[in-house]
A = this chain, B = another copy of it.
Amino acid sequence: MLNQQTDLDRLFNALADPARRAMVERLSRGPAPVSELAKPLPMSLPSVMQHLGVLEAAGLVRSEKVGRVRTCAIEPGALSLAEQWINARRTQWEHQFDRLGAYLASLPEEKEPDDAD
Contacts and interface: CB of A to CB of B under 8 A. Distances in A.
Contacts of A12: 12-13, 15-16
A18 interface: yes
A30 interface: yes
A81 to B, nearest CB: 10
B85 A21 contact: yes
A52 to B, nearest CB: 17
Contacts of A11: 16
Interface string A71-96: 00010100100110111011011001
A8 interface: yes
Contact of A13 (B16, B25, B76, B96): B16
B79 A89 contact: yes
A28 B92 CA distance: 6
A73 B99 CA distance: 16
A106 interface: no
Interface of A: 5, 8-13, 15-18, 21, 24-25, 28-30, 74, 76, 79, 82-83, 85-87, 89-90, 92-93, 96
